Amino acid sequence: MRAWGRFRHHTPAMIGLGIIVTFVVLAIFAPLISPYDPNAQNLAEAIEGPSASHWLGTDQLGRDIATRLMYGARISLLIGVLAVSIGLVIGVPLGMVAGYYGGWADLAISRFADMMFAFTSILLALTLVAVLGVSLQNVIIAVGISVIPVIIRLVRSSVLSLREEPYVEAARALGASNLRIITRHVFRNSLTPVLVHGTLSIGVSILLAAGLGFLGLGVQSPTAEWGTMLGEGRQFIFSAPHLTTFPGIAIFLAILAFNLLGDGLRDALDPRMRTVDGPAG
């Protein structure tokens, strides 16, 4: 409850949460909010600026941009959440094993992470999409795999410090199994950095997916996705800048929101903050 109190009074974090909730509401209720079909073409109204009938204008095929942004939020947020989930499901256990057991397991897993670190995130995602093929499913997998090495390193470093804590030594002395120690003591106490980094990684994953879409290797048209919309509008950047401006703003706001939320969670869950407040009652 104290953590929630600190988070609730963290103004930037609440702003970030508000932006995320707004995107989620728009994504869920898009069919009720907009009267337009996101894929319906009307060439007679192509490349129109913002107006009363089309609040953010229309694209090169006469599709309503505001509607496509709302439907695109579904895809972009889905990619971000699922990609980070893949990274956590694979990276957390590997980091736990590497940090707790050490030895050959640590060596093998750390070298695996180092090998993946040889590529930048966007280059790794591009390579994986080129190998797997262009589709929504493969974009999620590619972005998710690019998150794994950072998660491994983060969890490993956290476990290396936690395994020497007195309560872990006491549990080991009482005969607790390694699995019980990892799940009951180590994992629970390493959740804070994982939760914070996972939140920040959602914004990074949205940016990676948008980059793939911009390059034509992400979600394919006519499916609405912010990066794909940005890529389609770049040829009209001077004659119709609204085609790229509004998708760009959506991507910027989403990344900003998850960064603000992650910073707020870090400050709220930081053990040093609990020390300042005094011992929990």
Q: Is residue 43 part of a domain?
A: no
**What is the pLDDT, as a whole number, of residue 1?**
63
In single-letter form, the type of residue at position 10 comes to H
Average pLDDT value for residue range 135-158 = 93
Say whether pLDDT at 7 is over 90.
no
Mean pLDDT, the chain, rounded, equals 89
Q: Which pLDDT value is given to residue 143? A: 94
**Pairwise CA distance, residues 15 & 21, whole Å:** 10
DSSP state of 220: P
Q: Which two tokens stand for residue 30?
A: 């898009």
Identify whether 37 is part of a domain. no
Q: Please tell me the predicted confidence (pLDDT) of residue 280.
A: 38
Average pLDDT value for residue range 158-181 = 84
Domain count, the chain: 1
Q: What is the DSSP string of 89-147?
A: HHHHHHHHHHHHH-HHHHHHHHHHHHHHHTS-HHHHHHHHHHHH-SSHHHHHHHHHHHH
Residues 6+ apart with CB under 8 A from 58: 42, 45, 46, 47, 48, 64, 65
Q: pLDDT at position 244, please? A: 95
CA distances from 175 to 13, 72, 99, 167, 169 (A): 42, 53, 20, 13, 10
Q: Quick check: 64 and 34 in contact, CB under 8 A? A: yes
Q: What is the reported pLDDT for 249? A: 97
**Residue 235: inside a domain, yes or no?**
yes
- The domain of 184 spans 2-32+66-276
Domain of residue 150, CATH code: 1.10.3720.10
Q: Is residue 50 part of a domain?
A: no
Answer yes or no: is 54 within a domain.
no
The C-alpha atoms of residue 13 and residue 203 are separated, in whole angstroms, by 14
**Residue 49 within a domain:** no
The SS3 assignment for 235 reads: helix
Q: Is the pTM of this model over 0.85?
A: yes
